[in-house]
């Protein structure tokens, strides 16, 4: 990778990129220098904010003890050993003059967002009245929905991708083109809050989806519901929600995604790859009694949840983008 783009330490190829990875980790934590210092002190570790600021803006590797305290204060204590290993490898290369080479990644994905950031969307329920409103609003919206078509739909692979649409969109998994990515509950009932699932497109409203630029060619998937406000999808990696994507109100801490065009699968086909990883947004496809009973492939069953899995350009990892006007338009 070598461009310091992500917060993953194994992406860094030199000290400057390692400092940039640390800055991204701080941004994701949402904490100020003072808050990091206080949190580290509460854990019995010194983390002077002036020293940390120098480490995050300098071009030399941080001291091992400073790095460990910083990573733990950011909430990634389970990855402290990975950060230390990446730092030590860069230090060894600097001493021996060994050319940079990719560090073999074995870290888990980034930590789950803090519970306090998910207040408005947590434990939301669809009532019969809301379902009735859903059908009414969506009937009008989908009647006038138009497929976003780039100017050059026969563009050759490898050339620049057309810009993503602005405004409300629908994301149709290629493995289930009649369904759309939206909010819902996991079918096994292991988690009671709304997460990303695929459901019939006429059940999406009043929830609206937008692709919000997040800098560096990255996007966040933003949802809006009149009764819940805005929420951006964030991957969860622990507890009963492990593996799921849940909307959280603080979009700054949500999962950032590369939108990677797949023109061989259609002019509007995209894969969404999580920042600094090789994991893509995927419609989960384990065989279930429901899929066997319906005779459909597992990834085509309504209610199937979205997860992040290793990218493989499969139909259940590709999404067609449909631009949808607001119901009032």
- How far is Cα 80 from Cα 64, in angstroms, rounded to an integer? 10
Does residue 232 surpass a pLDDT of 90? yes
Indicate yes or no: pTM above 0.95.
Answer: no
pLDDT, residue 286, reads 64
Task: Copy the structure tokens of residue 308.
Answer: 């992040």
Calculate mean pLDDT across residues 255-263: 90
List the one residue out of 151, 141, 177 whose CA is nearest residue 327: 141
Per-residue pLDDT at 121: 57
| CATH (one of 3.40.50.920, 2.80.10.50, 3.30.460.10, 1.10.357.140) for 115-323 | 2.80.10.50
72 or 279: which carries more pLDDT confidence? 72
The helix (H) or strand (E) run that includes residue 87 is helix 80-96
Is the pLDDT confidence value at 220 over 90?
yes
Share the mean pLDDT of the chain: 76
Tokens of 75: 């909430």
The alpha carbon dihedral of 100, 9, 212, 243 has a sign of positive
* Poorest-pLDDT segment among 4-13, 120-129, 217-226: 120-129
Domain ranges of the chain: 9-96, 115-323
The per-residue pLDDT for range 276-309, each reduced to its tens digit, is: 778 899 998 765 555 456 566 767 889 899 998 8
Indicate the class that CATH gives domain 9-96.
Answer: mainly alpha
Cα separation, 19 vs 30, whole angstroms: 17
Residue 22 has pLDDT above 80, yes or no: yes
- Per-residue pLDDT, 12: 79
Query: 304 or 126, which is more confident?
Result: 304
- Region 23-42: mean pLDDT is 91
What pLDDT, on a 0 to 100 scale, did the predictor assign at position 173?
A: 93
pLDDT tens-digit profile of 158-205?
Answer: 445 677 888 899 999 999 999 999 999 887 778 888 899 999 999 898
Q: What angle do CA 139, 195, 224 make, to 5 degrees?
A: 50
Cα diameter, the chain = 68
Average pLDDT over residues 226-251: 84
Q: What is the pLDDT of residue 93?
A: 79
The label of the residue with tokens 């980034």 reads 110
**In the predicted model, is pLDDT for residue 66 greater than 50?**
yes
Instruction: State the pLDDT at residue 153.
Output: 34
Q: Strand pairing of 218-225 and 208-215?
A: antiparallel
Q: Which residue has the tokens 């499969």?
A: 314
Percent of the chain whose pLDDT exceeds 70: 72
Q: Is the pLDDT of residue 151 over 60?
A: no
């Amino acid at each position: 990778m070598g461009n310091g783009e992500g917060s993953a330490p194994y992406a860094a190829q030199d000290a400057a990129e390692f400092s940039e990875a640390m800055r991204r980790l701080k941004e994701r934590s949402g904490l100020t220098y003072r808050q990091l210092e206080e949190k580290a002190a509460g854990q019995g570790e010194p983390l002077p904010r002036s020293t940390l600021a120098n480490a995050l803006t300098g071009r030399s590797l941080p001291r091992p003890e400073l790095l460990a305290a910083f990573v733990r204060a950011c909430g990634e204590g389970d990855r402290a050993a990975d950060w230390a290993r990446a730092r030590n490898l860069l230090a060894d290369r600097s001493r021996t003059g060994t050319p940079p080479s990719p560090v073999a990644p074995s870290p888990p994905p980034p930590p789950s967002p803090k519970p306090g950031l998910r207040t408005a969307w947590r434990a939301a329920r669809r009532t019969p009245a809301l379902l009735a409103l859903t059908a009414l609003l969506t009937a009008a919206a989908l009647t006038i929905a138009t497929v976003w078509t780039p100017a050059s739909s026969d563009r050759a692979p490898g050339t620049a991708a057309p810009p993503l649409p602005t405004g409300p969109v629908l994301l149709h998994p290629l493995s289930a083109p009649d369904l759309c990515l939206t909010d819902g509950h996991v079918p096994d009932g292991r988690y009671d809050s709304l997460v990303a699932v695929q459901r019939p497109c006429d059940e999406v409203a009043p929830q609206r989806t937008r692709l919000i630029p997040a800098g560096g060619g990255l996007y966040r998937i933003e949802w809006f519901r009149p009764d819940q406000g805005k929420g951006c999808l964030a991957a969860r990696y622990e507890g009963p929600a492990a593996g799921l994507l849940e909307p959280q109100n603080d979009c700054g801490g949500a999962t950032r995604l590369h939108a990677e065009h797949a023109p061989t699968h259609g002019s509007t086909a995209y894969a969404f790859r999580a920042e600094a990883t090789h994991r893509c947004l995927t419609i989960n496809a384990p065989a279930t009694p429901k899929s066997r009973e319906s005779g459909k492939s597992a990834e085509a069953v309504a209610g199937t949840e979205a997860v992040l899995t290793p990218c493989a350009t499969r139909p259940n990892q590709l999404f067609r983008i449909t631009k949808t006007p607001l119901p009032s338009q």
